[in-house]
Amino acid sequence: MSVVYERVALIGLGLIAGSMAHAMRAHGLAGHVAGYARSSETRETARRIHLCDSIHDSAAEAVKDADLVVLAVPVRAMAEVAEAIAPYLKPGATVTDVGSVKRSVIEAVGPHIPEGVHFIPGHPLAGTEHSGPLSGFASLFQNRWWLLTPTEGTDPAALARLQDLIRGMGANTEDMEAGHHDLVLAVTSHVPHLIAYTMVGVADHLRRVTESEVIKYSAAGFRDFTRIAASDPTMWRDVFLENTDATLDILGRFTEELFVLQRAIRMGDGQHLHDYFTRTRAIRRGII
């Protein structure tokens, strides 16, 4: 692979930025990767493991001369970071983000992006329940989707270049309207995370089953289903506070369906349960 951007700046050095650093290095996609994270402990760890070519003590320093700036911080921290780096962005540079919510990030970040700098929001549909600078790995994006939410005004050349980088890291990319992205992700990611967190909370509040029993006898259902409840609390707090409408819409539908199943169980309506599980199993089996 050839270099797509001479200089890339990663702001926030957690799972996603760390995986980007590894992937760009593995595929030779960037001439130089500069990094910044707010916590000095994270910066020290990143230096120790040589996560980037240079780690800076300020975001302003990290973005200097960068051709691509990636905002990889929790969704609610995006605006403050954008404001801090705005005066130091190189004309003609591209700023992208990897936030799990798009509409609110665009509203919060967009106004800070100076004239002559391209802003192309994005979201890699890839992750694990781990976080921090040690959690990244080069193959995280392999064969995963990376959605971009450009608008009619987005520069086609800047978009094509970002797409090249994304494909270079092994991901597939498609464009999507930001509001639609937030609804799709509410179904496929946000509400499932909320339900997983809730299931762990239910187990925690049971007085007749002890915590050690839950851990010791954790059967496939609980173990598989709640893996994502080990995810970073700050990241997920921000997702729910910023994707409120779509989350509440999908959560309302989920609750309605759950009540119907609850009723079927109470009424001994095996036919309803069997039909429902048959239909949903067929859908689930279609997901690789």
Which residue ranges make up the site for ligand NAD (CB under 6 A)? 11-17, 37-39, 42, 72-75, 77, 80-81, 98-100, 123-124, 127, 131-132, 232, 235
Q: At a CB cut-off of 8 Å and minimum separation 6, what does 77 contact?
A: 12, 38, 238
CB of 235 to ligand NAD, least distance (A): 5
Residue with smaller CB distance to ligand NAD, 29 or 75: 75
Query: Which of 141, 110, 120, 171 shows the shortest CA–CA distance to 17?
Result: 141
Residue with smaller CB distance to ligand NAD, 27 or 123: 123
**Residue 114 gets which letter from DSSP?**
P
Q: Which sign does the torsion angle of CA 199, 123, 170, 2 carry? A: negative
Query: Which of 14, 268, 24 shows the shortest CA–CA distance to 139?
Result: 24
Residue with smaller CB distance to ligand NAD, 45 or 154: 45
CB of 196 to ligand NAD, least distance (A): 13
CB of 213 to ligand NAD, least distance (A): 29
Query: Which of 234, 243, 89 shows the shortest CA–CA distance to 81?
Result: 89
In the chain the beta strands, taken as DSSP E runs, fall at 5-11, 30-36, 54-55, 68-71, 94-97, 118-119, 122-124, 145-148, 172-175
CB of 210 to ligand NAD, least distance (A): 31
CB of 154 to ligand NAD, least distance (A): 20
Q: Give the type of residue at 137.
A: F
CB of 52 to ligand NAD, least distance (A): 12
Q: What is the DSSP string of 172-204?
A: EEEE--HHHHHHHHIIIIIHHHHHHHHHHHHHH
Residue with smaller CB distance to ligand NAD, 4 or 73: 73
Q: Give the type of residue at 197.
A: Y
Residue with smaller CB distance to ligand NAD, 244 or 261: 244
Residue with smaller CB distance to ligand NAD, 93 or 105: 105
CB of 239 to ligand NAD, least distance (A): 6
Residue with smaller CB distance to ligand NAD, 38 or 272: 38
**Residue 67 gets which letter from DSSP?**
S
CB of 205 to ligand NAD, least distance (A): 26
Query: Which of 65, 67, 69, 37 shows the shortest CA–CA distance to 51?
Result: 37
Instruction: Measure the CA–CA gap between 143 and 188, rounded to whole angstroms.
Output: 17
Residue with smaller CB distance to ligand NAD, 13 or 63: 13
